[in-house]
Amino acid sequence: MLVRDAMSTVVLTIGPTHTLRQAARLMSARRIGAAVVHDPDTCGLGIITERDILDAVGSGMDPDRETASAHTTTDVVFAAPAWTLEEAAEAMTHGGFRHLIVLDGDGPVGIVSVRDIIRCWAPARRRQPAAAAG
């Protein structure tokens, strides 16, 4: 199975000046765990996740004053739609993250998460015959 089969095509793109509260509100409304941060003046594309927001708020930062740019991961690993789910899972495991922005051509076309991969793999595991008891 390929990344294109598992990815969410709901891609929330926010700007670097969005506050953490605004980002959280938008992510919550779409029931997604990550947003693409587009900053054409600096790093281009980055990602902010629910974990980034949780860590900031948990450490006492003000979600109405903190901006996405201060909590964006800019050293991003991008996936291609034609990657296998195994390749995506390997990249996530190696990098220690749970989301990959999927690029096709000039921009993001989706986001694939660990949850998306598990959702695809779980039904396949149920269909496999049980190992014989020995």
Q: What is the pTM of this model?
A: 0.84
Burial class (CB in 10 A: 0-12, 13-18, 19+), 103: middle
Question: How far apart are alpha carbons 18 and 67 in whole angstroms?
Answer: 6
pLDDT tens across 29-57, in order? 999 999 999 988 876 899 999 999 999 99
pLDDT value of residue 133: 45
What's the pLDDT band for 89 if we cut at 50, 70, 90? very high
Pairwise CA distance, residues 28 & 46, whole Å:
19
pLDDT beyond 80 at 125: no
Q: Which fold has domain 1-119?
A: CBS-domain (3.10.580)
- The whole-number average pLDDT for the span 90-95 is 96
Give which of 89, 77, 74 is closest to 3, Cα–Cα: 89
Whether residue 39 contacts residue 69, with contact meaning beta carbons closer than 8 Å, is answered with yes
Q: Are the C-beta atoms of 68 and 15 separated by less than 8 Å?
A: yes
